[in-house]
Amino acid sequence: MSRIGKLPIQIPSGVTITVGDDSITVVGAKGQLVVPHLSDVTVTLDDGVLNVARKDDERIAKAQHGLQRALLNNAVQGVTQGFEKKLEVNGVGFRVNGGGQEIEMSLGFSHPVKYRAPEGIQLTVNKMEITVNGIDKQLVGQAAADIRSLKKPEPYKGKGIKYADEVILRKAGKAGK
C-alpha cells in the first residue's frame, strides 16, 4: 500500500471539488485547478475528506495511487494558500527591475534579459530578490527554474541567480606560488 496514497486529504471550508471521469476540478478562494483523473485509481469524496484508492494491485495502479493523491493535495493547498519560490540575484552590477508578469534583469551580458511569466504566475521584485507566486505548484517550480537557468550560480564567486535556500559549494581559486 502506498504510504502517501492511503492518507486522506482534509478539504478546508470554501473549497469545492468536482470528480469527473477524466478530470477533477478543485475550486477555492485563489482560483481553480484541473487535475487529471488517472485511470487505475478511484477518488471518493465524503464529509469533507477526499480518499484515493487503487482498483487493483497492478504495477501501474501502485504507481498512480501516490501520484493521484499528491496531485490532489497540491491542488487543494494551491487554491487555499498558494505556492511561492524565492530566488536571490548575487553579483556586482547585477540588477532586477519590474514585477507582475514581466521582469528585466541586467546579468552581465551585453543586453538586458527579459523574462515573461506564464499565465497564472505572479513575479515580485524586492531589491535583489525575486519571488514567484502562483496556485499551480508545478508551474511555480518551472518558472523559478527558468529564471534560474538564465544565469546559474558559479562556484568560484557565487555570482548568478540561486534559490533562497540553495547552498552553493565554493571552489578554491588558483593556488599562488
**pLDDT tens string 20-55:** 999 999 999 999 999 999 999 999 999 889 999 999
Fold match, 9-80 / 83-163: yes
Domain 83-163 indexed as CATH 3.90.930.12? yes
| The CATH number of domain 9-80 is 3.90.930.12 | yes
Upper half-sphere CA count for residue 144 (Cβ side, 13 Å) = 24
Q: What is the dihedral of CA 83, 88, 93, 98, to 10 degrees?
A: 10
Q: Determine the pLDDT at residue 55.
A: 92
For the chain, the structural domain boundaries read 9-80, 83-163
> How large is the average pLDDT for residues 80-103?
94
Predicted model pTM: 0.90
Contacts for 19 with CB less than 8 Å, ≥ 6 apart? 37, 43, 44, 45
What is the pLDDT, as a whole number, of residue 67? 94
pLDDT digits 0-9 by tens, 120-157: 999 999 999 999 999 999 999 999 999 999 999 999 99
Which set of grid coordinates corresponds to residue 144? 523559478
How much is the pLDDT for 142? 97
Whole-number Å distance between alpha carbons of 51 and 109: 51
Answer yes or no: are the C-beta atoms of 41 and 61 closer than 8 Å: yes
